Chain A
Amino acid sequence: MTEQSTSTLPNEVVTHALVQDVALPGGGGTLALVTLDNGHDHTRPNTFGPASIGELHDAIRSLRTRAEAGEIQAVGLTGKPFIFAVGADLSGVPYVTERQQALDIAKAGHATFAALMDLPVPSFAFVNGAAMGGGVEAALACTYRTISTGVPALAFPETFLGLVPGWGGCWMLPNLVGAQKALTVIIDNPLAMNRMLTGPQAYKLGIADAMFEPADFLEESLRWTASVLRGETTVQRPEVDRDESAWTDACDEARGLVEAKTGGKAPAPSRAITLIEAARTATRDEGFAAEDEALGDLIMSDELRAGLYAFDLTQKRAKRPAGAPDKVLARPVSKVGIVGAGLMASQLALLFARKAGVPIVMTDLDQGRVDKGVAYVHGEIDKLVQKRRLTVDKASFLRGLVTGATSKEGFTDAEFVIEAVFEEMSVKKQVWAEVEAVVSPECVLASNTSSLSIEEMAADLAHPERVVGFHFFNPVAVMPLLEVIRGAKTDDAALATAFAMGRTLGKTTILVKDSPSFIVNRLLGRFMGEFSRVVDEGTSEDVANEGVSGLAPMPPGVLLQLVGPAIALHNSETLHTAFGDRFYISPALRKAVAENSFLEDARVKPESPVELTASQVRERVLSALAEEAGLMLKDGVAQAPMDIDLAMITGAGFQFWNGGLTPLLDREGISEKVTGRRFLPPGVASVPR
């Protein structure tokens, strides 16, 4: 343990810094090769907790001594198979309760990487596998870098979670590749669904000086290293454009992007831009010191804690849905029926074919619709071939899987039938009656309804226990969420089969109680309703938008157009019917839908307009959401706040730095004001106070 590692982490999986001497080929001298290895396989990647950073620093210290003694002519740094290092061990963040602890973490990393940079011999990072955050910073701290073409992911995901690359990344990267490219890696990519670079992309960006294939990556890297040391290979890097106005322009452009994506509500990205902007002229000490302060602030921010909470939900709870029956109860599915051949049904057919790889039979009322549905699926498959996302053989397999008919006879041997017909209870009931006449008694009947009662839908069937809700989000190929709804009579086998199918389809499944509009559409309905009410009462849409900025991925007006005004109206009406005036139906929306006109044109100026400020709008809308979320938990619609948050993140694109929804409501004090209590205990998705 070194003096820097003042904070310790219980049960840290320590990444060791193992050192072996290597004779450089062709007589280039001796290179001390440091391998980062935590003793686990690639499923538990190397991370840097306090003890890991301490070990690395100790290793660098002793290498410095050896270098000064002339025993080694270079230092190399590489990872274990498939993994370089994926950055700081963030599992320790909940234990950080004082700003000083956060500063200590920042300083320990800086001291270690500065020691690496200050070695009296050249250092070489051999980036053999995944590298993120502190792993990338360790590589940047070396004099030279090679990268494997097989590296699947290199990234600074910090701003995605609520941090900045604060172990030198915000200073080293712009000084290596310039502001613009650094901003791409540190800002643009994390804010684009946490996009990552491949090895070749990172090389092209100038992050590495040479690139080799995985089969003999280390051997060829060392051969290259020897030739660099002998002066036979000169490393050429394009000169960084340090022109002040270009540098500032790049930063301002990134600020615009951040504003558009976060509404200024996420502190981390803007903080990173400030650091990158300063890196143009800041000395290393200045840059590192500014990063220390940024980490001190951000680690102690509720936004980071909420981000880590949200990340954990998507990594763990999403994979083990709470309340799902034992997997062993799931029945195998070797054929799927789809009732309907419209756009939704066709999208479902494509998804089931690609992911489940079983025959899919689509049915509709007339041959024309059936043909159109099948043609749509075949057309999408062709597009995937053109984009080289599918091989010709695989495409031919998939095309063969999807057939259509006007009769439901093809469902006879299906074990899973999903309907995507008109949202009308009588239609759904009639469809299920027809399906039940041909399928086996165990065949699961899944409804893609967005709001109707599963219990009622199943009421007249001989086997109501096999009916489940299976609610996708548009576009089904992209949105991760699938709400799985248990009706009053649904049995465990049917539910388990539905969850298993959801997993096969690659979706995040959440168990929801049978209730109008389930989780996401109910909360979105309340959100949009309250927003409309405020606007209809006289607040300008701009002010209202400002009030709810940073909540949903886009302003409510844009969201409405994306969902479709008619569908949004239908959702509001369903909810209004079920729950009354809590759910506001805008007359303007009704008029716009009826007349197929623009919402702005349909809006009528109120007689006595009430103009709220942005913060009043925020309080109104968040209060409504807090009330609704509280009722949903009270009624058991969602099992826990975590399910609400996971649903809003994966089904509505709500933000990580808000932890989805309930951490935001807790953070802004709304929960306690409206419901009398927090949704989550302090510390779960916030700094414990």
Chain B
Amino acid sequence: MPQTLHDVVFVDGVRTPFGKAGEKGIYAQTRADDLVIRCIRELMRRNPGLPPARVEEVAVGATTQIGDQGLTLGRMAALLSGLPTTTPGYSIDRMCAGGMTAVTTVAGSIAFGAIDVAIAGGVEHMGHHPMGEQVDPNPRIVAERLVDPSALVMGKTAENLHDRFPTITKARCDAYAVASQTKLARAYDDGKIQPDLVPMATRHAEKGWGMATVDEPPRRGTTIDDLTGLKTPFRAHGNVTAGNAAGLNDGATACLLASGEAAEELGLPVKMRLVSYGFVGVEPEVMGIGPVPATEKALRSAGLTIEDIGLFELNEAFAVQVIAFLEHFGLADDDPRVNEYGGAIAVGHPLASSGVRLMTQLARQFEEHPEVRYGLTAMCIGIGMGGCVIWENPHHADFGKEK
């Protein structure tokens, strides 16, 4: 039987406000699964034309899959969201790219024709599940010098990246970080962020119920001076600080994906069309460089070049890692096409959830930039990987035509 490929479209995406991990954070006593359930329910509510039984997969990324992120979270979240028992689900772990991989995996199923409609998302409650919780690294890593021990500490890999690219100074990173805060503040002021935020009830035994309606991590009004004196915890007199890196955060995201045919049949909005994606491995010690070869791979498989990309949503795990990407592709540190709403340095990076945030924001930017035909979402991934997903803008005049 001949196999037909199907278009995969991004219908809608939402997220909870992001919180600061830890005892004082807004989600300190809120369950991780409840965060992602809230996103799923909101997606269903926002898309009343979609009969719940038509959701054929719920894939949820989570780096630590134990406790309130365990028990085959994708399936449990589907059940707890009130989706019918016929909707299956699963969990995905590709560290920071859990959500992104959830998207590309269900996209593969849709393109293959196995399913028509799916929900993909991610969650990370880094307060409940600190990085490295209960991991048991194989002793061969050290014995056989397979990777440098610094590869398991993300901040150290960022310092390693500074060694590889000496021209990327701390001053450039701090300037980039300040811009990220400024751009997010402006996006909030312009009402770009709020439409896709889902208010989240927060339970706290001592404070009572509250409601998270905005992100907790951003530091509006941050200046270069504020960042200059910060400690460099990963290396004495190093470059990486809490100011030019994403923090430790709690949050969840989810999006709705469908085949082009199903979207048309059900009258679902098409916000983006998936063009191509690529994941690659790099040396774990410099995992931050991962998005570069991942993007080259995705461009190659799409038959595009970097010049075809009009909007970039890059995850800002570390400023150095974003700047390394920009330098490689010949883009300025302050290129306006990059992270128009700021990035993870300002908004936070609850590991596996971030990939879908990039997509949701790119979708909104597509709407405002009909002149842009292609955009990409990319991120670095722990243990030496990178991921990139390229999308086409349905608002562009040439949408649907051959390149």
Q: In the complex, A20→B82 CA distance in Å?
A: 29
Per-residue contact bits, chain A 6-28, to B (CB 8 Å; 1 contact, 0 not):
00000000000011101101000
Assess whether B211 is in contact with A33, with CB atoms less than 8 Å apart: yes
Residue of B nearest to A223 (CB): B199
Assess whether B211 is in contact with A18, with CB atoms less than 8 Å apart: no
Assess whether A222 is in contact with B37, with CB atoms less than 8 Å apart: no
A560 an interface residue at 8 Å Cβ cutoff?
no
Range for the number of chain A residues in contact with chain B: 20 to 34
| Shortest distance from the beta carbon of A627 to any chain B beta carbon, whole Å | 55
| Shortest distance from the beta carbon of B277 to any chain A beta carbon, whole Å | 32
Given known pairs A22-B210, A23-B211, A25-B199, the reply for A216 and B205 (CB within 8 Å) is no
B224 an interface residue at 8 Å Cβ cutoff?
no
Residue of A nearest to B34 (CB): A215
Across the interface, which residues of B come within 8 angstroms of A219, CB to CB? 38, 198-201, 211
Given known pairs A23-B213, A213-B82, the reply for A218 and B208 (CB within 8 Å) is no
Interface members, chain B 187-239 (any A CB < 8 Å)? 198-201, 203, 205-211, 213-214
Q: In the complex, A37→B210 CA distance in Å?
A: 13
Q: In the complex, A37→B37 CA distance in Å?
A: 24
Per-residue contact bits, chain B 2-44, to A (CB 8 Å; 1 contact, 0 not):
0000000000000000000000000000000000011001100
B81 an interface residue at 8 Å Cβ cutoff?
yes
Assess whether A218 is in contact with B211, with CB atoms less than 8 Å apart: yes
Task: Give the size of the chain B interface in residues (CB under 8 angstroms).
Answer: 21
Choose one: B37, B80, B210, B213; the contact of A33 (CB below 8 Å).
B210
A81 an interface residue at 8 Å Cβ cutoff?
yes
A159 an interface residue at 8 Å Cβ cutoff?
no
Interface members, chain A 310-366 (any B CB < 8 Å)? none
Q: In the complex, A215→B198 CA distance in Å?
A: 14
Interface members, chain A 1-56 (any B CB < 8 Å)? 18-20, 22-23, 25, 33-35, 37, 39
Given known pairs A22-B211, A25-B213, the reply for A218 and B201 (CB within 8 Å) is yes
Assess whether B208 is in contact with A18, with CB atoms less than 8 Å apart: yes
| Shortest distance from the beta carbon of A393 to any chain B beta carbon, whole Å | 14
Residue of B nearest to A36 (CB): B208
Q: In the complex, A35→B211 CA distance in Å?
A: 12
A532 an interface residue at 8 Å Cβ cutoff?
no
Across the interface, which residues of A come within 8 angstroms of B207, CB to CB? 18, 20, 35
Residue of B nearest to A213 (CB): B82
Assess whether A20 is in contact with B199, with CB atoms less than 8 Å apart: no
Assess whether B203 is in contact with A81, with CB atoms less than 8 Å apart: yes
Across the interface, which residues of B come within 8 angstroms of A216, CB to CB? 37-38, 41-42, 201
Given known pairs A23-B213, A218-B201, the reply for A33 and B208 (CB within 8 Å) is yes
Choose one: B42, B205, B210; the contact of A20 (CB below 8 Å).
B210
Assess whether B208 is in contact with A215, with CB atoms less than 8 Å apart: no
Assess whether A20 is in contact with B200, with CB atoms less than 8 Å apart: no
Residue of B nearest to A218 (CB): B201
A78 an interface residue at 8 Å Cβ cutoff?
yes
| Shortest distance from the beta carbon of A22 to any chain B beta carbon, whole Å | 4
Choose one: A23, A25, A37; the contact of B208 (CB below 8 Å).
A37
Across the interface, which residues of A come within 8 angstroms of B198, CB to CB? 219
Assess whether A215 is in contact with B199, with CB atoms less than 8 Å apart: no
Choose one: B82, B203, B213, B214; the contact of A215 (CB below 8 Å).
B82
| Shortest distance from the beta carbon of A29 to any chain B beta carbon, whole Å | 13
Q: In the complex, A214→B207 CA distance in Å?
A: 21
Q: In the complex, A34→B82 CA distance in Å?
A: 28
Across the interface, which residues of A come within 8 angstroms of B81, CB to CB? 215
Assess whether B209 is in contact with A218, with CB atoms less than 8 Å apart: yes
Given known pairs A215-B81, A215-B82, A216-B38, the reply for A35 and B208 (CB within 8 Å) is yes
Per-residue contact bits, chain B 79-94, to A (CB 8 Å; 1 contact, 0 not):
0111000000000000
Choose one: A19, A25, A39, A215; the contact of B80 (CB below 8 Å).
A215
Per-residue contact bits, chain A 64-93, to B (CB 8 Å; 1 contact, 0 not):
000000000000001011000000000000
Chain B residues close to A by CB (< 8 Å): 37-38, 41-42, 80-82, 198-201, 203, 205-211, 213-214
Q: Could you show 21 A-B contacts with beta carbons less than 8 Å apart?
A: A18-B207, A18-B208, A22-B211, A22-B213, A23-B211, A23-B214, A25-B213, A33-B209, A33-B210, A33-B211, A35-B207, A35-B209, A213-B82, A215-B80, A215-B82, A216-B41, A216-B201, A219-B198, A219-B201, A222-B211, A223-B199
6 cross-chain pairs, A with B, having the tightest CB-CB distances, nearest first: A35-B208, A18-B208, A218-B201, A22-B211, A20-B210, A35-B209
